[in-house]
């Protein structure tokens, strides 16, 4: 079984993101970049399927400029077999990414596609669902458990009311949630081996996809600073402040 995993280059989750002074975008100067945490979980799940003898090949794909090859190499160091970069300059909307991934799916014919449920920069939570619609494949989103049985995959989903298990016929698409697994760290030997693994580069034109923009970014600004909280000495003082200062009770 061939597994395709999408990875995205984002600002490392430990970094405090700052807006540029002119509000035009996020300041990325000297900022550490990493694989999106949900994509890292997707890579780990694919590698575990390979280690279990279920998957025969794991392919890591990323959409972006040459800098995203760093994240593809990280996925290769974590256990993916080869990488694909779709060379696109600038920001790309989820729908365009889904169309590009659909073209890669058509080219590679994987039995399973695994994506992070969302990226920590845009937080859109759209690409997996759009890819499922475009590729006409069943999808299990927000996966906390994945079990492949023959030509089917059972996905336990995290939903508002608890857990839901769906059975999908392969080929299928899965988007990963936080509790699916604990991603491993890449060892130094595997990092060195990853430099020699195959990494193919395609342009949108080669994949037959037109990159168009439907959204315009108007402004980027930090959220308003919250006022510091206060301590009250007793319930009577709390009720007084809620009534007379906050005016939330009468």
- The domain that contains 68 carries what CATH number? 3.40.50.620
State phi, psi for 231 to the nearest 5 degrees: -105, 140
Task: State the total domains in the chain.
Answer: 1
User: Domain span at residue 197?
Assistant: 2-222
Instruction: For residue range 115-166, list pLDDT tens digits in order.
Output: 999 999 989 999 999 999 999 999 999 999 999 999 999 999 999 889 999 9
Specify the pLDDT at position 32.
94
User: Residue 245: inside a domain, yes or no?
Assistant: no
CB 96 within 8 A of CB 212: yes
Whole-structure pTM value: 0.87
Closest of 82, 85, 84 to residue 57, by C-alpha: 82
User: Residue 232: inside a domain, yes or no?
Assistant: no
Concatenate the DSSP letters of all residues of 192-205 into one string. HHHTTS-EEEE-HH
Residue 67 is given by DSSP the state G
Instruction: For residue range 30-65, list pLDDT tens digits in order.
Output: 999 999 999 999 999 999 999 999 999 999 999 999
Q: Sheet harboring 57-64: ordered strands across? A: 162-169, 152-159, 138-149, 172-176, 112-116, 2-6, 57-64, 82-87, 199-202
User: Residue 95: inside a domain, yes or no?
Assistant: yes
User: Residue 248: inside a domain, yes or no?
Assistant: no
User: Residue 132: inside a domain, yes or no?
Assistant: yes
């Amino acid at each position: 079984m061939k597994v395709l995993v999408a990875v995205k280059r984002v600002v490392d989750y430990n970094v405090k993101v700052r807006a540029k002074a002119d509000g035009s975008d996020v300041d990325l100067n000297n900022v550490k970049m990493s694989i999106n945490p949900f994509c890292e979980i997707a890579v780990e799940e694919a590698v575990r399927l390979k280690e279990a003898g279920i998957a025969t090949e794991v392919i890591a794909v990323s959409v972006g400029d040459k800098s995203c090859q760093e994240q593809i190499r990280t996925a290769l160091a974590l256990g993916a077999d080869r990488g694909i970069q779709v060379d696109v300059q600038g920001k790309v909307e989820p729908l365009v990414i889904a169309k590009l991934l659909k073209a890669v799916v058509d080219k590679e014919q994987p039995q399973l596609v695994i994506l992070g449920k969302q990226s920590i920069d845009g937080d859109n939570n759209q690409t997996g669902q759009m890819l499922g619609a475009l590729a006409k494949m069943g999808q299990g989103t927000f996966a906390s458990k994945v079990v492949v049985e023959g030509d089917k995959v059972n996905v336990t989903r995290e939903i508002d009311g608890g857990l839901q298990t769906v059975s999908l016929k392969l080929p299928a698409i899965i988007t990963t949630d936080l509790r699916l697994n604990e991603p491993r760290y890449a060892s130094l030997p595997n990092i060195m081996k990853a430099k020699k693994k195959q990494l193919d580069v395609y342009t949108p034109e080669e994949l037959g996809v037109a990159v168009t923009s439907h959204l315009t970014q108007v402004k980027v600004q930090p959220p308003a600073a919250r006022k510091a909280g206060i301590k009250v000495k007793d319930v009577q003082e709390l009720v007084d402040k809620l009534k007379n200062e906050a005016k939330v009770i009468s």
